[in-house]
Structure 1
Amino acid sequence: MATFQKRSGSWRAIIRKKGYPQLSATFDTKAHAERWAKQIETEMSQSRFVDTREADALTIAAALERYEREISVHKKSYRNERSRLAILARDLGRFTLSTLRSSDVALYRDQRLEIASGSTVRRDLALLSHLYTIAIKEWGMPVDNPCAKIRKPKLNKDRERRVTDDELAGLMEAAGALHVEMPRLITLAVESGMRRGELIGLKRSDVRGSVAYLAETKNGTSRAVPLSRAARAAVEELPARLDGQLFSLRPDTVTHYFEKSCKAAEVEGLRFHDLRHEATSRFFEKGLNIMEVAAITGHKDLRMLRRYTHLNPSALAEKLG
């Protein structure tokens, strides 16, 4: 049976029932307290009671901190995911796991789309949704996933930016003025199709003959990347380092230097990752088939190659005769 206590103009209801935790709540009137107690006792008697106190108390910010400790740190993408966790905590951290509604997430989506791309916001929502999946399946939280029923933003249009030889020449000159390693890094990116992180992580011992062996990649598998003569020459031009790494540059430094190089060379609308797009397109233009290109670039989903491949119409015209 529930008991009721009057305290400074409010009423506190206390429920004690064998097999269940003690519950209490405070209300403005005794009638409200009695209605709450009756509802809880009915749920208990019908074995429908679910204790939501932990989920009611755990904020999104605290849940994201736990998710980071238990899940994110084990991901290869952890460095990039930290900023996304911080954004979610900033914008939604005040809610608890049980009080965040689909309408709240939809509002976050719409506000975020004003400053971020559709693809970026989709990744935000995917991370938030996975937080709820972990909370439900591993932490035993009796909550619903508020991301499940909202509309996802549209994906960005496929990038079609190609790099001309003149632009590359200008970039090489500008990049060399910033750091001696940058022109070699750009050459390797265009010639091999390797990602920024894969290039920065290369050790000299990974390059054996005309092949670079990647032990770990973004998709979690190893990969052997054949190197062209230009790529091998770029490797040979790099000075040997005591730590065995090919490059001393950090990933964020590469991005910063590349942006400065584009500005100095008056090259617009180009990102470092576009060099991987360019490499993939050039592989096809050289006559490699889709399986050969996938083996070089590491794409598991062959459909994804379409996003990275924008063939040069002039090269296609030459093939037609």
Structure 2
Amino acid sequence: MANILKKGPRQYLTRIRRKGPDGKRVLRTKTFETRGEAEEWAAQIEGRIASRDFVDRSNLQQDSLSAVLDRYVEGLRGLKSERDARLTAAMWKREPFAGYAIGAVTSRDLAQWVKRRRDAGKAASTINNALHFLSKFFKVARREMGYEGLENPVDHVTKAKQGEPRSAHLTPEQEQALLDACQGSKAEYLIWVVRIQLATAMRQGEVARLRWEHVHETHVHLPVTKNGSARDVPLTMAAHELFQELAREWPRRQASPPIPRRLAPDRSWSRALAVAAQAAGLTREARDMLRQASAAELALMAGRVSPRDSLG
């Protein structure tokens, strides 16, 4: 039964407490000017709660986007995607609408965010990747986190338009300057990481996970990539000779990594490479350009049209 309490002239506070069809207690409160309005509203709400199809959407207006993002990321603990998810979630939590109730975030909020990012010079791929993360988050929140009835505002946002593929490459002079800087780095094996990237167009994380058993005469087999699928990287003659040189430098053992991960973890490579690139006078795009540098040659080997196809 609803409890209607007269708080003062033309103020009737109405409280409803009862169990829903799933056994969970539902609480609703609202204030009306007349008792008749209060009774009518109470009857409507109690009827809805008693219905088999009732879905409690009160949490959509109670829990903030920021708080639900925290819960979502915690659910990824220990997974490969956890680190990237934490970084992207932290970015979204800095937005003004992060304090809104999760059900109050609109496509207009996100469209304005897209405009701000474009005006700030962010790449379309960077913007769209962040939107993709948020879209997946809303879907998981609706299906698995108890936010039934939650709409996905990303569905109604126009994605940032992709520009022409970048064709930036390291010049021979830039490449040599970077190699010289890596050679002088305190990070042991950084020079090998960069040389392998230049020779194969492999991602830094793929180099970090590489094992000798993956290295063959004509190609390198990558069982797991950023996209979650396996792929083979063709080896040029120069790349093949590079792995032979590395085998002599670091005694080859079955199932051991060419680059000992314990001596040079992935994140330390990122920091060391940033320092080396700065010392070589290169821009922040240098790490992307490492992959681009050899993509054209690999594309020719594989008979592909675009270097982008070789980047996997």
Q: 1:172 to 1:121 in 2, by over 3 A?
A: same
State whether structure 2 residue 99 is matched by structure 1 residue 84: no
Q: For this pair of structures, how many residues does the alignment match?
A: 296
- Equivalent residue letter for 2:278: K
Q: Which amino acid aligns with 1:132?
A: F
2:74 paired residue number: 69
The equivalent of 2:4 in structure 1 is: 4
Aligned-partner SS, 1:216? coil
The answer to whether the aligner puts 1:183 opposite 2:188 as a matched pair is no
The answer (yes or no) to whether the contact 2:2–2:15 under 8 Å persists in 1 is: yes
Residue 99 (structure 1) aligns with: 104
User: What CA deviation, in whole Å up to 9, does each residue of 1:228-267 have, x standing for no partner?
Assistant: 3332145235446999441432333323333333333334
**Mapping 1:195-234, distance limit 5 Å:** 195-204=203-212, 206-207=214-215, 212-227=220-235, 228-234=239-245
Asked if 1:284 corresponds to 2:292, the answer is: no
Distance 1:33 1:153, change over 3 A: farther
CA, structure 1 residues 203+284, in 2 after alignment: closer, same or farther (shift >3 Å)?
closer
Counterpart of 1:146, as a letter, is: P
Checking the alignment, whether the CA contact within 8 Å between 2:142 and 2:149 is kept in structure 1 is yes
User: For residues 16-55 of structure 1, what are the structure 2 equivalents within 5 Å?
Assistant: 21-27=25-31, 29-30=33-34, 33=38, 36-37=41-42, 39-41=44-46, 43=48, 49-55=54-60
- Structure 1: unaligned runs, 5 residues or longer: 291-301, 310-321
Cα 1:57–1:244 change in 2 (3 A) is same
Runs (5+) with no aligned partner, structure 2: none
Q: Deviations over 1:104-156 (max 9, x none)?
A: 22233333434433222212211111111112222342221111112212224
SS of the aligned residue for 2:242 comes to helix
SS at match of 1:148: helix
Q: 1:120 and 2:126 equivalent?
A: yes
CA contact (8 A) 2:299 2:306 kept: no
The 8 Å contact of residues 4 and 12 in structure 1, kept in 2 or not, is answered as yes
Structure 2 partner of 1:14 = 15
* Higher deviation after alignment, 263-272 or 95-104: 263-272
TM-score (norm 1): 0.76
Residues 200 and 18 of structure 1, relative CA distance in 2, 3 Å threshold: closer
1:260 to 270, 275, 279: 275
Q: Secondary structure at the match of 1:220?
A: coil
- For 2:92, what is the secondary structure of its paired residue? helix
TM-score (norm 2): 0.78
